Amino acid sequence: MLTRDVSLYISYLAKLKKMEDTEILNLYRAGEEQQAFNLIMRKYNERLYWHIRKIVCDHDDANDLLQNTLIKVWNSLGSFREDSKLYTWLYRIATNEAITFLNKKKLRCALSMSDYSSKLENKLIADPYFNEDKIKIALNKAIAKLPTKQGIVFNMRYFDEMKYEEISEILGISVGSLKASYHHAYNKIKAYLKETLDM
């Protein structure tokens, strides 16, 4: 019986991932707000969590920011005009939440960028959810040393394999600037890995 339930749930999740955002938004407009929001959460919750987590490097902070993001989505879904895709809109809200959080934290701590980067690196190593090999730890340390927006661009392009056009919609930065930002981030990371790992 349990195996059948698990199988049905896996099948449901597969259908949900294939469900078009327009179908979800149509449900919302038809008065099924709670169901539409639940579908958005199930479809994007994990992706948004990991997107935020890559920016702030801390599980608890990422969870809190995800909750803030979902509250903003719930409060703003009625005014979503579909000028962009739903997932780029969601990513924009999540990214803004994470950047605002980091900026407040930097001001509160009155730390220089290098001190703050060191703090992020230490969080990575101490994080019980982060269990990676030497190369991945070095890569994440290198990303933590990047300026915030450069790190976000690198993560979205390299890990999430987003197109520059999608990142441009989310961050409000031109495609040309994004390509330059990614190129600089890539070179900095490459240099850091070469120095750290003698590659």
Q: Inform me whether the pLDDT recorded for 15 exceeds 70.
A: no
Q: What is the 3-state secondary structure (H, E, C) of 30-93?
A: CCCHHHHHHHHHHHHHHHHHHHHHHHHCCHHHHHHHHHHHHHHHHHHHHHCCCCCCHHHHHHHH
Query: What mean pLDDT value characterizes the chain?
Result: 84
Measuring CA to CA, how many Å separate 195 from each of 68, 117, 138, 139, 187?
38, 17, 10, 12, 12
Higher pLDDT, 106 or 183: 183
**CA–CA distance from 2 to each of 5, 8, 28 (Å)?**
5, 10, 33
For residues 170-183, average pLDDT: 95
Q: At what angle do helices 59-76 and 86-109 cross, to 10 degrees?
A: 130
- The backbone torsions φ and ψ at residue 175, rounded to the nearest 5 degrees and listed phi first, read -60, -40
pLDDT in tens, 34-62: 999 999 999 999 999 999 998 988 899 99
This prediction has a pTM of: 0.76
Q: Is the pLDDT of residue 190 over 80?
A: yes
Domains and CATH numbers, the chain: 1-110 (1.10.1740.10), 112-199 (1.10.10.10)
pLDDT of residue 9: 60
Query: Which residues lie below 8 Å from residue 138, measured CB to CB, with a gap of 6+?
Result: 192, 193, 196, 197
Residue 16 confidence (pLDDT) above 70: no
Q: Which of 102, 99, 51, 92 is nearest to 72 (CA)?
A: 92
